[in-house]
Amino acid sequence: MGCEPRDIIRAAGIVNASISDGPGLRLTVFAQGCERDCPGCHNPDTHDLNGGYDLNISDIVELYKQNKLLDGVTLSGGEPFLQPAALCALAREIKALGGNVVTYTGYTFEELLKKDDCRELLALTDILIDGPFELAQRTLELPFRGSANQRALDVVRSLAAGEAAEKNL
């Protein structure tokens, strides 16, 4: 099952120019909803599946187009892979504009490979920051990660190899 077109994302928020959510200058979309409830989570307000608000993908794309300095979009959360169809549509639009996609997830790459409805969003992602936040492994030393168990993965190489391939950031 692939990503069926959706034009609305359930969002917790959006940041127009971030340098902390992936390499370069990024438009960051925080998806609403997460079922993991990791202790010490940086974004606990994003957990409620019924919280947040609706954002039109076309509005996000227009916001992206207004800032010519952006390198790409970051999909964070909450859990982006709870809304794979809508976020696939956004990722396709950003890639068509020459941008790249960074996706944060509490799932591991290996778990996502087993989820048919998540495969396309995974394939549209350039860099995947995977794994749940673990408070006992909290770190400020690793770029764009909150805990040492989280990996920064080159998704193209990972999919080609059939196993996680780290991205040097």
pLDDT, tens digit (0-9, with 9 covering 90-100), for 16-71 = 999 999 999 999 999 999 998 888 888 888 898 999 999 999 999 999 999 999 99
What is the span of the domain harbouring residue 74?
A: 8-161
Any domain includes 106? yes
Q: pTM to 2 decimals?
A: 0.93
Both tokens assigned to 63: 């916001």
Total structural domains within the chain: 1
Main-chain dihedrals φ then ψ at residue 111, nearest 5 degrees:
-65, -40
- What confidence tens digit (pLDDT) does each residue in 91-129 have? 999 999 999 999 999 999 999 999 988 999 999 999 999
Tokens of 157: 């190489």
Would you say 103 and 129 are in contact if contact means Cβ atoms under 8 Å apart? Answer: yes
Q: Which of 10, 18, 21 is nearest to 104 (CA)?
A: 21
Q: What is the CATH number of the domain that holds 23?
A: 3.20.20.70
Q: Judging by DSSP bridges, how do beta strands 72-76 and 26-31 pair with one another?
A: parallel
The answer as to whether 147 is a domain residue is yes
